[in-house]
Amino acid sequence: MSTDKRRKHSAPVVDGINKSASRAMLRAVGFTDEDFRKPQIGIASTWSNLTPCNMHIDGLAREAAKGADGAGGKSLIFNTITISDGIANGTEGMKYSLVSREVIADSIETVAGCEGFDGLVAIGGCDKNMPGCMMGLARLNRPSVFVYGGTIMPGDNHTDIISVFEAVGAHARGNMELIEVKQIEETAIPGPGSCGGMYTANTMASAIEAMGMSLPGSSAQNAVSDSKLADCEAAGAAVLKLLEADIKPSDIMTRAAFENAITVVIALGGSTNAVLHLLGMASTVGVELSLDDFVHIGKQVPVLADLRPSGHYMMSELVAIGGIQPLMKMLLERGLLHGDCLTVTGKTLAENLASVEPYPENQKIIHAFDNPIKADSHLRILYGNLAPEGSVAKITGKEGTHFSGRARVFHSEEEAQERILDGTVVAGDVLVIRYEGPKGGPGMREMLSPTSAIMGKGLGSDVALITDGRFSGGSHGFVVGHITPEAAVGGPIALVEDGDTITIDAVNNSIVLEISDEEMEKRRNAWTPPEPRFTRGVLAKYARVVSSASTGAVTDLP
């Protein structure tokens, strides 16, 4: 058996006369005698031609493999799945989206655990496959680097996927002709890469880099660029250095590293999905993290980035002025980041940032601390009799900070979407979309279609939307999701009736159903749980084991 400590996992698979059959199989896929003496590096690729986010990742995986081989390892590329939120949104298929995060984590753990890889590179390019990759790496806890597939370029007239969703609402309002919608549809997605604003993909890529699990700069590169190819090759080589130093994800994904990730997400004005995914990733690696941590950190950190969906600029424009590294240096110098956190470079965060140049003086994307977009976090954790275990709102201030209106209750996303587009929903309504939580959906669908329809109809300042489901990173408006407990387990959101008054206060962080405790109890006693919509297959399995959104909606809690 090998004495090379870097081969802790591969040696039992390929060393010795008893493993002759294993070696025979591997010779067929290209191994030589010399390769059996090298650390094996698994390259987890999320390539698929299902979606522009991942259509180029096969090439990136080969670059990562080249880097690992060049540094003295033996790479093996394997695939895991991906789905497309942008394609599935507004359909039953979206129920599988959050489920795919768990499938991806399971598959990476399964392949690497079976094959005995000593280290890993995981390459993700869309909302769920990034946290899914990270959860898989955390479970395995072997030297690993995450690589982001990169952002898409803007479409014609500065458009992106959200432009298309909102064009549908504008057409329903009568403000856009069908031919105009089609023109946006045809040009908004010009090629490979993840959705172009500070939506969930770019948010999670930034969070992972801030956490130290990606090489510096990985989160802010265009999908089709020499810098992204170089990032992938460097990541493959970096795993060999991590093996030499025995640096594992658990050494990097510490409590302080998660606090750094939260800080950067807030400064960037990132997606509410970051709350769900960071909670899930923390749970997987054994770090205690709760909704209240977002509250505590949010009081200290301003929103500085003028990025879509609530702002003006796209990720490619942030890439052009230096990405997130100068922003992280600003936060570090302000005392808002933990500079002593270890990263996949083998250096601390502060060491990585030491030579980073500031943003150009004339740039308008990242604001100064004395001129923030918002003085504190846009991610508001709301509690109250409607969400006793918490809920998550994305309030930039442009929507206002208070909303009180009459409930208009829907039992599915589709029902709400129809009533928005046909004019049933009017100013002063609080749309309640329930039975869309992790168990109730199942799968906790994103409400991108309804929120986009609201904006397109010109109701963004006049209605609110609350749900036990969640929102796309592209959603904006006065919206509150992740309401827990969810309706399917008898949470208070299941007890709301049409015409009830609901008051949302994003200053005092409260969400209240304006009925008496006695009335609430009366309704609770009369409530009966719905029959499960799925009794077999992956959605049924997911519904049986998934945890609350307030704990990350994970499926492997002990």
Tell me the per-residue pLDDT of 52-102, one tens digit each, with 9 for 90 and over.
Answer: 999 999 999 999 999 999 999 999 999 999 999 999 998 999 999 999 999
Q: Which residue has the tokens 């923390």?
A: 282
446 is in an annotated binding site: yes
Both tokens of residue 167?
């064009």
- Bridge partner list, 107: none
User: What is the pLDDT, as a whole number, of residue 398?
Assistant: 76
Residue 57 and residue 278: Cα distance in Å, rounded? 24
Candidates 271, 472, 475, 510; catalytic one = 472
Domains of the chain from N-terminus onward: 38-154+190-354 (3.40.50.2300), 155-189 (no CATH), 379-551 (3.50.30.80)
The H-or-E segment that residue 179 falls in is helix 178-187
CB atoms within 10 A of CB 158: 14
CB distance 186 to 156 below 8 Å: no
Reported as half-sphere exposure (CB side, CA atoms, 13 A), residue 255 has a value of 6
Q: By the 8 A CB rule, do 89 and 273 touch? A: no
* Residue 85 labelled as part of a binding site: yes
pLDDT of residue 173: 86
The pLDDT-based confidence of 172 (bands split at 50, 70, 90) is: confident
- C-alpha angle with apex 122: 15 to 19, nearest 5 degrees? 10
Q: CB within 8 A of 355, min separation 6: which ones?
A: none
The helix/strand/coil state of 392 is strand
Question: What gap in Å lies between CA 343 and CA 353, rounded to an integer?
Answer: 11
Burial class (CB in 10 A: 0-12, 13-18, 19+), 105: buried
What SS3 state is found at 155?
A: strand
Query: Binding residue per annotation — 128?
Result: yes
Burial class (CB in 10 A: 0-12, 13-18, 19+), 226: exposed
Q: How far is Cα 282 from Cα 318, in angstroms, rounded to an integer?
A: 28
Question: Residue 309: is the preceding peptide bond cis (ω within 30°)?
Answer: yes
In this prediction, residues 448-453 reach a mean pLDDT of: 91
Residues in a beta bridge with 145? 121
Per the annotation, the verdict on 472 as an active-site residue is yes
CB-count burial class (<10 Å; 0-12, 13-18, 19+) for 179 = exposed
49: burial class by Cβ within 10 Å (0-12, 13-18, 19+)?
exposed
Q: To the nearest 5 percent, what fractions of the chain are helix, strand and coil?
A: 45, 15, 40
pLDDT tens-digit series, residues 392-446:
999 887 778 999 999 999 999 999 999 999 999 999 999 999 999 999 999 999 9
Q: Does 262 score more than 70 pLDDT?
A: yes
Average pLDDT on 8-13 reads 97
133 annotated as a binding-site residue: no
Record the tokens describing residue 188, joined without a space: 């908004």
Predicted confidence (pLDDT) per residue in 91-134, tens digit:
999 999 999 999 999 999 999 999 999 999 999 998 899 999 99
Question: Looking at the predicted structure, is the pLDDT value of residue 536 above 90?
Answer: yes
In this predicted structure, which of 71-75, 246-250, 307-311 has the lowest mean pLDDT? 307-311
> How long, in residues, is the chain?
558
User: 519-556 burial string, b = 16+ CB within 10 Å, else e?
Assistant: eeeebeeeeeeeeeebeeebbeebbeebbbbbbbbbbb
User: Known binder of ligand: residue 519?
Assistant: no
pTM of the model: 0.97
Is the Cα dihedral 316, 319, 324, 326 positive or negative?
A: negative
pLDDT of residue 473: 84
Mean of pLDDT values over 23-32: 98
For the range 524-533, what are the long-range contacts, defined as Cβ-Cβ under 8 Å and sequence gap of 24 or more? 524/490, 524/495, 527/490, 527/494, 527/495, 529/488, 529/489, 529/490, 530/435, 530/440, 530/488, 533/442
Q: What is the pLDDT of residue 263?
A: 98
507 CB burial (10 A radius; 0-12, 13-18, 19+) = exposed
Mean pLDDT of the chain: 96
Q: How confident is the model at residue 39 (pLDDT cuts 50, 70, 90)?
A: very high
How far is the CA of 137 from the CAs of 119, 280, 287, in angstroms?
Answer: 9, 13, 15
Pair 445, 470: CB distance under 8 Å: yes
- Residue 458's pLDDT is 92
Other Cβ atoms less than 10 A from the Cβ of 402: the count is 15
What do you get for the CA distance between the two ends of the chain, in Å? 35
Determine the pLDDT at residue 65.
98
Q: Is 330 a residue whose pLDDT tops 90?
A: yes
pLDDT for res 1 = 61
Name which residue leads in pLDDT, 165 or 212: 212
Lowest average pLDDT, out of 100-114, 133-147, 157-171, goes to: 157-171
- Check residue 541 and give its pLDDT: 98
Amino acid 477: pLDDT: 85
Query: Among 295, 314, 249, which Cα is nearest to 119's?
Result: 249
